[in-house]
Chain A
Amino acid sequence: MKIFMMLGWRNIWRNKRRSLVVISSIGVGIFAMMFSMGFMNGMNMQMVENTISTSLGHIAIHEKGFQDNMKLEYSFIPDGEIISAVKGNSRVKAFTERIKVQGMVRSSEASRGVMIVGIDPETERTVSKIYDYTLKQDGSRYLSGRGDEGILISKTMADRLDLVVGDRLVIMVQDLNNEIVGAGLAVTGLYESPVDSFDKYVVFAGIEKIREITGLGKNISEINVLLKDKDDVAPVKTEFAGAMGGKNLEILTWKEMAPYLVRAVQLFDMIMFIFFTIVFITVIFSVANTLIMAIMERFHEIGVMKSIGTRPSRIFFMIIFESMNLGLVGLAGGVASGLLVIALLSWTGIDFSFWMESMKMFGTGSVIYPVIRVTDITMAVVIVLFTTLIAALYPAVKAARIKPLEALHFI
Chain B
Amino acid sequence: MNIIDIQNLTKVYNTNGVPVQALNGIDLSAEQGEFSAIAGPSGSGKTTLLNIIGGLDQPTHGSVRVVDTELGGLSARDLSDMRLQKIGFIFQAYNLIPVLTAVENVEYILLLQGAGKEERRSRAEEMLREVGLGRELNRRPAELSGGQQQRIAVARAIVSEPDLVLADEPTANLDQKTGASLLDLMRELNHEKQITFIFSTHDPMVMERADRLIHLTDGKISADEHKGERSGSAGQ
Q: Are B89 and A307 in contact (CB under 8 A)?
A: yes
List the 4 closest pairs (A to B, CB-CB), nearest first: A309-B84, A10-B99, A304-B95, A309-B83
| B82 nearest CB neighbor, chain A only | A309
Contact between B98 and A301, CB atoms less than 8 A apart: yes
Q: Taking chain A's interface residues, is the majority helix, strand, or loop, or is none over half, making it mixed?
A: helix
- Across the interface, do B91 and A309 meet the contact criterion of CB distance under 8 Å? no
Q: How many interface residues does chain A have, given as a range?
A: 20 to 34
A residues near B99, Cβ cutoff 8 Å? 7, 10-11, 14
Q: Mark B73-89, 1 if CB is under 8 A from A, else 0.
A: 00011001101110011
| B56/A301 in contact, CB under 8 A | no
Contact with A along B16-54 (1 / 0, CB 8 A): 000000000000000000000000000000000001001
Interchain nearest-CB distance for A402 vs B (Å)? 11
**B1 interfacial by beta-carbon distance below 8 Å:** no
Q: Among B51, B97, B109, which residue has its beta carbon within 8 angstroms of that of A309?
A: B109
CB distance from A301 to the nearest CB of B (A): 7
The CA of A301 and the CA of B97, in the complex, are separated in Å by 7
Interface of A with B (CB < 8 Å)?
3, 7, 10-11, 14, 300-301, 304-314, 404-405, 408, 411
Expressed in whole angstroms, the minimum distance between the Cβ of B120 and any Cβ of chain A is 10
Residue in B57, B83, B100, B104 whose CB lies within 8 Å of A308: B83
Q: Which residues of A contact B12 (CB under 8 A)?
A: none
Give the distance in Å from the alpha carbon of A408 to the alpha carbon of B93 in the complex. 10
The smallest beta-carbon distance between B195 and chain A, in angstroms, is: 16
Which chain A residue has the least Cβ–Cβ distance from B87? A309
Partner of A310, one of B80, B85, B88: B80
A309 and B95 contact, CB distance less than 8 A: no
**B78 and chain A: residue at smallest CB distance:** A311
Q: How far apart sit A161 and B76, CA to CA, in the bound complex (Å)?
A: 86
A226 to B126, CA, bound (A): 77
Nearest Cβ on chain B to A131's Cβ, whole angstroms = 68
Q: Which residues of B contact A7 (CB under 8 A)?
A: 97, 99-100
Write the nearest CB–CB distance from A346 to chain B, whole angstroms.
Answer: 42
Cα distance A52–B35 in the bound complex, in angstroms: 89
Query: Interface digits, B142-160 against A, CB 8 Å rule (1 contact, 0 not)?
Result: 0000000000000010000
A27 to B78 Cα, complex, angstroms: 41
**B94: nearest residue on chain A (CB-CB)?**
A304
CB of A308 within 8 A of CB of B56, answer no
Known contacts A308-B89, A309-B81, A311-B77; 9 further A-B pairs (Cβ under 8 A)? A11-B99, A305-B97, A308-B83, A309-B80, A310-B84, A312-B76, A312-B77, A314-B112, A405-B51
- A-B contacts, 5 of them at CB < 8 A, read A3-B108, A308-B83, A308-B108, A310-B112, A314-B112
Contacting residues, chain B, for A312 (C-beta < 8 A): 76-77, 80
